[in-house]
A and B are shown apart, each in its own frame.
Chain A
Amino acid sequence: MTDKPIISCRDLSKIYTMGEQEVRALDGVDLDIAEGEFVAIMGPSGSGKSSLMNLIGALDRPTKGEMWINGKALSEMSRDDLADLRNETLGFVFQQFNLLARQDAFQNVRLPLRYARKDAGDIDARAKECLELVGLGSRMDHRPMQLSGGQQQRVAIARALANRPRILLADEPTGALDTKTTAEIMHLMQDLNRQGITVVLITHETEVAAYASRQIHFRDGRIESDSAHPDLKRPSGG
Chain B
Amino acid sequence: MKFGVATSSAAEALFSNPMRSLLTMLGIIIGVASVMVMMSIGEGAKAQIEAQISSIGSNVLTLQPGNMNRGGRNHGGGSGRPFAEADVTAMGELPFVQGVTGILSQQANAVSEEANWVSNIQGANASFFEVNNWRVAEGREFTTQEVQGGAAVAVLGKTSAANLFPDGRAIGQRIRVNSVPMEVIGILESKGQSGGGGMGMDRDDTIVAPLGMVRNRITGGNRQVSRHVSRIQMLVQDGYDVLEAQEETTALMRERRRIQPGEQDNFAVVNFADMIKQRAAAAETMSMLLAFTAAVSLIVGGVGVMNIMLVSVTERTREIGLRMAIGARGGDILLQFLFEAIALCTLGGLIGMGMGWIGVFAYAQIANAPMMVSPVIIATALGAAASVGLIFGFFPARRAAQLDPIQALRHD
Contacts and interface: CB of A to CB of B under 8 A. Distances in A.
A191 to B, nearest CB: 21
B406 A115 contact: no
Interface string A130-166: 0000000000000000000000000000011001000
Interface in B174-232: none
A87 B409 CA distance: 16
Given A60-B406, A102-B16, A111-B5, A84 B330 contact: no
Contact of A92 (B4, B12, B325, B331): B325
Interface in B1-60: 2, 4-5, 12, 16
B377 interface: no
A160 B322 CA distance: 11
A114 B5 contact: yes
Contact of B329 (A80, A100, A102, A112): A80
B140 interface: no
B324 interface: yes
B322 A100 contact: yes
Contacts of B376: none
Contact of B319 (A100, A112, A163): A100
Contacts of A111: 5, 323, 326
Contacts of B404: 60
B332 interface: yes
Contacts of A60: 404-406
Contacts, number: 62
B327 interface: yes
A115 B332 contact: yes
A79 B318 contact: no
Leading 3 A-B pairs by shortest Cβ distance: A87-B327, A114-B5, A112-B326
Main SS at interface, chain B: helix
Given A115-B5, A115-B332, A88 B327 contact: yes
A115 B336 CA distance: 12
A87 B12 contact: no
A222 interface: no
B164 to A, nearest CB: 74
A43 interface: no
Given A114-B4, A114-B5, A115-B2, A80 B330 contact: yes
Interface in B137-157: none
B329 A59 contact: no
A115 B405 contact: no
Contacts of B16: 102
Interface in B255-283: none
A102 B323 CA distance: 14
A14 B4 CA distance: 37
Nearest to B325: A92
Nearest to B15: A102
A36 B5 CA distance: 32
B369 interface: no
A85 B411 CA distance: 23
Contacts of B136: none
Nearest to B316: A100
B328 interface: yes
A92 B331 CA distance: 21
A83 interface: yes
Contacts of A59: 324-325, 405-406, 409
Given A54-B406, A115-B2, A83 B329 contact: yes
Nearest to B324: A83
B327 A112 contact: yes
Nearest to A110: B5
Contacts of A179: none
Contact of A83 (B12, B318, B327, B409): B327
Contacts of B326: 86-87, 92, 111-112, 115, 159-160
Contacts of B318: 98
Contacts of B406: 54, 59-60
A112 B329 CA distance: 11
A122 B328 CA distance: 19
A188 interface: no
Contacts of A48: none
Contacts of B5: 111, 114-115
Contacts of B323: 111, 115
Interface in A71-96: 79-80, 83-84, 86-88, 92, 94
A23 B331 CA distance: 33
B380 to A, nearest CB: 35
A83 B329 CA distance: 5
15 contacts: A57-B325, A59-B406, A60-B405, A80-B331, A83-B324, A84-B327, A88-B327, A92-B325, A102-B12, A114-B5, A115-B327, A116-B327, A159-B326, A160-B326, A163-B327
Contacts of A103: 12
A103 B326 CA distance: 16
Nearest to B409: A59
Contacts of A79: 329-330
Contacts of A87: 326-328
Nearest to A159: B326
A92 B319 CA distance: 14
A148 B200 CA distance: 77
Nearest to B328: A115
Given A59-B405, A80-B329, A100-B319, A86 B4 contact: no
Nearest to A99: B322
A87 B327 CA distance: 4
A92 B324 CA distance: 11
A53 B124 CA distance: 101
A86 B324 CA distance: 8
A59 B5 CA distance: 21
